[in-house]
Every structure is written in structure tokens, then in C-alpha cells.
Structure 1
Amino acid sequence: MTNAFVINGGKPLKGEITPQGAKNEALQVISAVLLTEEKVTISNIPDIKDVNKLIELLGDMGVIVERVNEHTYTFEAKDINQDFFASETFKAKGGGLRGSIMIVGPLLARFGKASIPKPGGDKIGRRRLDTHFLGFEKLGAQFNYNPEDGFFNVDASNLQGTYILLDEASVTGTANVVMAAVLAKGTTTIYNAACEPYLQQLCKMLSRMGAKISGIGSNLLTIEGVEKLGGTEHRLLPDMIEIGSFIGLAAMTGSEITIKDVQYKELGMIPDVFRRLGIKLELRGDDIFIPAQDHYEIETFIDGSIMTIADAPWPGFTPDLLSIVLVVAIQAKGSVLIHQKMFESRLFFVDKLLDMGAQIILCDPHRATVIGLDNQVKLRGISMTSPDIRAGVSLLIAALSAQGQSTIYNIEQIERGYQHIDTRLKALGADITRI
């Protein structure tokens, strides 16, 4: 029996909400504990499936994991059981978790070999892993894929620093290669490196552990290999995707919401993109305050042409928020072209929005034009299924703004990325029930 949310929409919400720790940062920095035998403490860890599964996987490998409180853990990777990687348990658990790819870099660096089952995760088009393995090969690793047991095996008893031009600015690819390079001999230069805040956080954490990394925040990283790394303490950034989701939620439901402790300077252009949709928001200390608005109007470009919002590698606008922007534009005044460049099937959830009464033209798998209803017509509640994490939350926002009752099935997808989302929305006054 799968779980579903039943939502009675059309009510404004009110109150304060605190974003969880960043899921995508968590998967990287938790994997980095494998680089040292000393204790590493990580706080602000979100309580969500993808992260909990990775923590469990580390425990199975022999890492001593202690939960200090709800969002803080200590990790001590003194003794890693190498036999575990050939086990059926590893195949089952590692294969069901997209983030498991992140353990390869640290294991390679510290033990000279790693294997990983073909990863699972989201259905949002192909997620190539080539960048990871091409990077490892440049550092001197041998790579083979065994189609019979479905394992990727990487072997490198002697990683050597080198010049690497990444074939794409993949965040997880960059993170993995950085983790492999910190213990390699000599100097590694990574060009076309991703420079997302999560990656900067990882590099800062590794530096505190004794790594020598320069160029943090740019697309050119230089890493001087060191002999070993030590323990550290690290606090995760708040999840910028959640912050963007809550800005969109406030606007679309006409709610007055304060988002607490957002680390505003790490949000890049996210607040500005929502402002382009006509959403008023103000910074109060490190909180974002969104006043209740009956009405928000999409800006046009200076020459009067239709606004386009597209995703791009950081510091461009994150692809994870395009689904949210698309939904929020439904009730704006004006039109906007949403261009999803980085993944090929993330816009397919618009059919559900059309059923709710939205005016959207799906141009092709990458582009959709939204013609705003300006709150003249309310969306109507329907039954629907969530295809991926981000679309799931977008549909949840649409349902909260719609007249009548909506049911969203397959909410496991939503809960892979958002912790206790129903409880937190209820605290704002949302009428949402889990069945």
C-alpha cells in the first residue's frame, strides 16, 4: 500500500518555517568521512530517506556512526570492511541509492580500490556517471564495468595528480574527483569544475581536515595531495531548493511566510528569479519575509519581449527549482518561457497541471510557456502521481493553492528530498493529511 497526501487547498497559510539541511551537500560531506580514520562531526543533517540510507550504508561498511541528536552525527571510519563491497547487501543497498556513487572517490583515495553497483534514484532522464569515472581514470585509476554482476569496479593503488578538464561541470562528478585527488601524489588541477555552494562547503570541510585546495568557488580548482587527513566538525547549509520551494508556496497561496536562517549570501540568484515573477520578498536579518500578495506580475525583458527563465550550472539558476517556478507562474500576471536545459524529462508533469486548469503550452521536452491566470481562475483539485522529487513538491504547491481536494500518490518520491513536509506545512495552517 503506498502512501498519499490528501490536500484541501485554497487557504492562505501563515507563520514561520525553517529549511532543512541541504540534501545534496549531505550526500557529499557524509561520504567524505571515509577519507580519514579520525572522528568527523556533521550537524544540520536532514532526516530524509536518501541521506539515512547513505548513513546506514557507512555503518554496514564498518564506520562507527553515533547519532548525537536529531540532526547531528559523528562518524569514525577507522576500520572499513573491504569484503562488504562484494556482498549482496551492498549490491541491494548501494544500487537503490543514487548518492552511493559518492563513496567511490574517498574509497579510491584511501584504499586504492572501490566498487559500486549501478546506481538507481530519480527518473529525470539519463544521469551520466561518465564524468566521475573519466576523472578517476585521469588520476590513474583502472575502470571496468562488469555487466554480469552489475558492478562498476575502480582500481588505483597509486593515484597521481594531473590536469583534468571535466567533460561537464557535474557537481557530484567534481566532488568525487576532488575527494580522490586530496590524497593523490602531486598536484591536481580541475578545470570546468562545478562551483555550487555545496561543493564549496565540501572543499572548505576538506581544507579543515588538512587538504590543500585553492580556487574554491571558481571553476578552476588546484589540489595539492597530502599524506593523510584528520577529523573536523561541519555544519550543512540550509537547503536552497526548500527555500525556493517555500518562496513559491507563499506567493501561490497568497500567504505571509517567514523562512528562517536561510544563509542568504549562499542563495545566488534564486531570490532574484522569484522577484522577476513579481514576488515581493525582503531580507530580515538572515530570514526571508514574504508578505501576503493577491497579485504578482511577471516582468518582461527591457525590449518588452517575453521573460525566459532557464537553468544553468552555478552561479546560474538551479534546475531543481525550475518546476517550482513553472508552477508559481501559473497564477502570475503575464507569460514566461521555462527552458529546462539540463535534464530531458523534467517538464512532463505539466499534464497534471493542465488537468487542474493551468494554461501551459509544452513546446518540447525542454520548454514550456506558462500563460499566467493572475488569480482570475483558481486551479481545481485532482488526483495525481508524483514523478520525481521536485515535480512532487511543485504539485503539492499547486494543490495547496487549488480549490477543492487533491490527492497526490507516490509521495515516497517527495519524502526522499523533503523531511516531515506534511507536519511542517500543517504548522503553517495547511490542510494536508497522510493516508
Structure 2
Amino acid sequence: MSSLIVEGGHRLQGNISPQGAKNEALEVICATLLTPERVVISNLPDIADVRNLISLIEEMGVETEHIDNNTVSFSAKEIDTEYLYSEQFRKKAQSLRGSVMIVGPLLARFGKAILPKPGGDKIGRRRLDTHFWGWQKLGAEFEYDELGKYYNITAPNGLKGCYMLLDEASVTGTANIIMAAVLASGVTTIYNAACEPYIQQLCKMLVRMGAKITGIGSNLLTICGVDYLGGTDHKMLPDMIEVGSFIGVAAMTGSDIVLENVGIDDLGIMPECFRRLGVNMEVEGDNIHVRQDEIYAIDSFMDGSIMTFSDAPWPGLSPDLLSIFLVVATQAKGSVLIHQKMFESRLFFVDKLIDMGAKIILCDPHRAAVIGAGKFHCLHSTNMVSPDIRAGIAMLIAALGARGTSRIQNINQIDRGYERIDERLNKLGAHIIRSEE
């Protein structure tokens, strides 16, 4: 098991650029299955989840060419749909949660797909009802194979457009339904659709391929099905979660860091939320300058009540950022309530922060109260095991701001979402050693 050995207490300085967006990457890579023509995607992050998804669709028959480390061309001329029924496919798909998003494109283009139970972070129940319900509304049928533990999904009469009101604004669910609907006959209307920048990016890419989609950027999408989609070039957005992670690193270590080319127009409420946490940051064009501060103080509401940060559908705060806000608050002056509404296991890593000296009360699986120490390096080092991507990066941020040397195990979880994180932070002055055990 690989580990990161982190010597905390060092202030960082310099410039850093975020990688391409992980969540967008998984969507647009799957969208290449919708056309036999060449699709070129640039600004792809070189991370484990992306590499594994590319490997999966290559085994399905997609031809790829790695133009450089972050640019790949895809050509899905011939897909071996029989491979979907193999044990090899099921095992590989089960290890990667992003594999669920190949179903929409396969249903749209070939009228059939296989869905094993996908893998991913262990952060609580992550239901797929929205995906299933949307496909069923379009005409898909499901048969569960008890022996193989997978769903056989078919569209025997083709997919047909319809009106649907989603039970939740699921990002991956919306993406999957969109990709199924673009080749369905007739008109599909999706209300309560997710409207995150990554969904907007997917829609814009599909429009360039020939899809007819209106309402992009809103929660009401109208899709007129077409018979054929062609190739395109697509450049991905910067990863807003990595932007938030680097702001957290700068705040936690009292550092002076410039984040370059962050895609400021697509960050939503996140910069303002960091300011309410007390982080001293300025927007300079498309850059964010986090300035060195002696301490930062958490804001309070106008009536004097405790500041609360909770996740919400876009343009609200992403649930992927709350673990970062929580760990940064441990060194701030003041108190804050972190309310993780979506996933019931994402806050369980706080026991390690408590072991490091943080003053945190885990109220229930969804809420944690943090009483900030009001000084840097108030935490002390410890050994930790990363349970998922976002908890892992929060642990790394905590270790960077703590006194002494910490060890974080199971860092393959961090590698799933962050490209060469140790190397990039070391260039800013961090002291991180990767240990292969």
C-alpha cells in the first residue's frame, strides 16, 4: 500500500494551475461512444479514474491515440458489444464508478448495455434510481442476472423522447439521460436537471457533434433527437474541486499562492464561501491570489448566529468541497457548522482530525461543528488511512498544516482524483515523500 509522508508546518509560495475536471472527464469520455467519428479531448487529467475508464472503453473496441499527456483522441468505429457480457468487463466496470455513464451512450447507439454494480468512493449510499428511471421513461427495459450480479438493459423498440421530472438533480444521472436522449426519436424534456458547468460542457460538446439541445445552463433541458452524431474537438474546464483544494492548502499553511487559469466564471459560490471562512483571497483576471495571513476569522450571519456551510445543487456549494472547508476551519478563529446533506459517511474521517487535536463535534452522520483554534499549526501529526478521494485530500491538507510528520496510507484514493499531487505541492515548498510499500 502506497503512503504519503508529510512534514507539516512549512509555508508554501508560488504559482500552480489546476488540472482538468475529473467529473467532466468521465462524462465526455463516455460521450465518445455516441459516434463512430474521431473525438479529441484536451486538458484531460492524468489520474487513475480517467486512465481506468479509457482502458475500459479501449477493451470495448474504442481506438485511442495519446497526443500528449493531457490530450487523447477517441474513435469508436466498432464496439464489441459481446465483450460487455464477459466476466472481464464486469470486474473492470465494478471497480470504477464512472463506468455507469457508458450505459446511456450504449443504449442510444446500440440499444443494449450491461450495468454491473459500479465501484468508487465508500462515502455512503449512492443510489442509481435517477439513471434507471430516466432510461425507463425513454423506453429501456431491465433484467437482473442474479448469478452474474448485473443488469441487462435493452431498448427493444428503440428509445423515444418524453417529458420527465427528475426526483433529484443528479449530475451523473442527468448526464446519462442526456446521452441516451440525444439519439432517441422525438423530443425529450428534462426538468430538475443538474446544471453544473460540467453538464453544460457535456451539452456544448454534444451540440458541436450535431445534437439539438436547448436550455443549457438551466434546470430545464429540451433535446430533439437526431439520427447521427459526428466528431468534434473538446477542451475541458479546470477542476473546481482542485481549485478549492489548493485554496484550502494555502489557507491551512498560511501561504501565499497564486492559482492560475482557474475558470473563475465557472466556480459558482465557492470563492465567496471561502471568504466567509475568512480566507484572504483576490481574483486577478482568471487567477486567484490567496495571500499570506497571520490568521483568518470565520464570518457569522447578520443575526450573530454561527456560520453554516452546506452542500446544494449548482450553483450552491459542491459536496466535494465540504471536507476541505471542515479541515480549514480547524485553524480559523471562530466556529462553523458543516452540514453534509448528500452522503452519510463523508464526515466519518473527522475522528482522525480529532486525534490531531482538532475541536470537532460530530453531531450525526451529516453534521459536524468545528471550533477553530485561531492559530496556525494547532494540529499535531498522526497516521491516517484515506477512505475516499475528498477525505484523502482533506487529510493531506491537515497534515501540511500540522506540527510534525504524518503518514497517510491508501493514497491510491487520492491518486484517483489528483494528478501528481505530491510533486506539484513540493514545487511550492511542501515536504512530501511518496513511499511505495
* Pair in the same fold by TM > 0.5: yes
Give structure 1 regions of 4+ aligned residues with deviation exceeding 3 angstroms: none
> Counterparts in 2 of 1:8-19, with a 5 A limit?
8-19=7-18
| Deviation, structure 1 residue 119 | 0.6
CA contact (8 A) 2:163 2:189 kept: yes
Superposition deviation, residue 148 in structure 1? 1.2
Q: Does 1:3 align with 2:6?
A: no
1:326-361 deviation per Cα after TM superposition (whole angstroms, max 9, x unaligned): 000001110000000011110001100001000111
Alpha-carbon distance change, 92 to 206 in structure 1, aligned in 2, over 3 angstroms? same
Within 5 Å, give how 1:60-139 maps onto structure 2. Answer: 60-139=59-138
CA contact (8 A) 2:298 2:336 kept: yes
Q: Which amino acid aligns with 2:174?
A: T
Q: Which whole-Å deviations, capped at 9, do the CAs of 1:237-285 have from their partners, x for residues lacking one?
A: 0000000010011011000001110010000001001000111111112
Residue of structure 2 in register with 1:212 after alignment:
212
- The residue type equivalent to 1:418 in the other structure is Y
For 1:222, what is the secondary structure of its paired residue?
Answer: strand
Instruction: Write the deviation string for residues 185-212 of structure 1: whole angstroms up to 9, x where unpaired.
Output: 0000001101111000000000010100
Q: How far 1:116 moved relative to its partner?
A: 2.0
- Name the counterpart of 1:37: 36
Name the SS for the 1:243 alignment partner.
helix
| Cα deviation code 1:290-315 (max 9, x no counterpart) | 11111111000001110010001111
What code does the residue aligned with 1:59 have? Answer: E
- CA displacement 1:134-176 (0-9 Å, x = unmatched): 1000001101221210111110141000001111111000000
Displacement of 1:92 in angstroms is 1.4
Amino acid at match of 1:93: K
CA distance in structure 1 between the partners assigned to 2:346 and 2:134 by the alignment = 27
CA distance in 2, matches of 1:82, 1:31: 15
For residue 317 of structure 1, give the secondary structure of its aligned residue in structure 2: coil
Deviation at 1:377, TM superposition (A): 6.2
Alignment partner, residue 312 of structure 1: 312
SS at match of 2:331: coil
Q: State whether structure 2 residue 393 is matched by structure 1 residue 415.
A: no
Quick check: 1:274 aligned with 2:274? yes
Deviations 1:364-389 (A, max 9, x none): 10001100101176210011111110
C-alpha contact 2:9 2:253 (8 A) present in aligned 1 = yes
State whether residues 166 and 192 of structure 2, in contact with CA within 8 Å, keep that contact through their aligned partners in structure 1: yes
Once residues 137 and 116 of structure 1 are traced to their aligned partners in structure 2, the CA distance between those partners, rounded to angstroms, is 14
Q: TM-score, normalised by structure 2?
A: 0.98
Q: Give secondary structure in 2 for the equivalent of 1:268.
A: coil
- SS of 1:144's equivalent? strand
In the other structure, the counterpart of 1:237 is: 237
The TM-score, its normalising length taken from structure 1, stands at 0.99
Q: Retained in 1: the 8 A contact 2:281–2:290?
A: yes
What CA distance in whole angstroms lies between the structure 2 residues aligned with 1:357 and 1:118? Answer: 38
Q: Is the 8 A contact 2:376 2:401 kept in 1?
A: no
Q: In structure 2, the residue corresponding to 1:101 is in which secondary structure?
A: helix
What letter is aligned with 1:151? Y
List aligned pairs for 1:237-316, cutoff 5 A: 237-316=237-316
Q: Deviations over 1:90-123 (max 9, x none)?
A: 0111111100000000000000111121111110
Q: Which residue of 2 aligns with 1:23?
A: 22
Aligned-partner residue type, residue 378 of structure 2: K
Conserved 8 A contact 2:254-2:376:
no
Name the counterpart of 1:424.
424
Name the aligned partner's letter for residue 214 of structure 2: S
Which amino acid is 2:30 matched to?
A: S
Q: Which amino acid counterpart does residue 78 of structure 2 have in structure 1? A: D
Match of 2:143 in 1: 144
Note if contact 2:377-2:403 (Cα within 8 Å) is conserved in structure 1.
Answer: no
User: What is the CA-CA distance between 1:69 and the residue it aligns to?
Assistant: 0.5
Q: 1:413 to 1:376 in 2, by over 3 A?
A: closer
Whether 1:332 and 2:332 are equivalent positions in the alignment is yes
**Cα separation, 2, equivalents of 1:310 and 1:96:** 29
Quick check: 2:161–2:186 contact (8 Å CA) kept in 1? yes
1:52 match: secondary structure: helix
What SS does the corresponding residue of 1:164 show, helix, strand or coil?
strand
1: CA distance, partners of 2:144 / 2:267: 38
Letter paired with 1:11? H
Q: Give the counterpart letter for 1:115 in structure 2.
A: I
Residue 176 (str. 1) matches residue 176 (str. 2): yes
One-letter identity of the residue aligned with 1:126: R
1:154 — aligned with what?
153
Please, which moves more after superposition, 321-330 or 147-156?
147-156
SS of the counterpart of 1:45? Answer: coil
Q: Percent identity?
A: 65
Question: Gaps (5+ residues) in structure 2?
Answer: none
User: What amino acid does structure 1 have at the position aligned with 2:288?
Assistant: I
**1:21–1:377 distance in 2 versus 1, CA, 3 Å:** closer
For 2:233, what is the secondary structure of its paired residue?
Answer: strand
- The C-alpha deviation readout for 1:65-110, integer Å capped at 9, x for no partner, is 1000110000011000111111121011111110000000000000
Please give the alpha-carbon distance, in whole angstroms, between the structure 2 residues aligned to 1:147 and 1:5.
Answer: 41
Q: State the secondary structure of the residue aligned to 1:160.
A: coil
- The aligned residue for residue 386 of structure 1 is 386
